[in-house]
């Protein structure tokens, strides 16, 4: 019972780690998209002033 419990606990921890990693990657991707959008908008504003 102890050994299977250890294995299950390890698997659960591993899985939550994967989910966390995926969430982190998604956040990074969103941040990149957002900053790119901001950059474009700032450029457009600067261009409109000229």
- Give CA separation, 23 vs 18, 27, 28, 49, in Å: 9, 6, 9, 39
pTM of the model: 0.36
Is residue 17 situated within a structural domain? no
Is residue 35 situated within a structural domain? yes
Is residue 4 situated within a structural domain? no
> In the chain, how many domains are there?
1
| pLDDT band, very low/low/confident/very high, at 9 (cuts 50, 70, 90) | low
Is residue 8 situated within a structural domain? no
pLDDT at residue 3 tops 70: no
Percent of the chain with pLDDT over 90: 0
- Owning domain of residue 27: 22-50
Is residue 14 situated within a structural domain? no
Is residue 1 situated within a structural domain? no
Is residue 37 situated within a structural domain? yes
Is 14 or 37 the better-scoring residue by pLDDT?
Answer: 37
């Amino acid at each position: 019972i102890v050994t299977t419990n250890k294995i299950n606990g390890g698997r659960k921890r591993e899985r939550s780690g994967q989910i966390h990693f995926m969430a982190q990657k998604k956040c990074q991707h969103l941040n990149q998209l957002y900053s790119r959008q901001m950059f474009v908008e700032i450029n457009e504003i600067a261009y409109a002033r000229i």
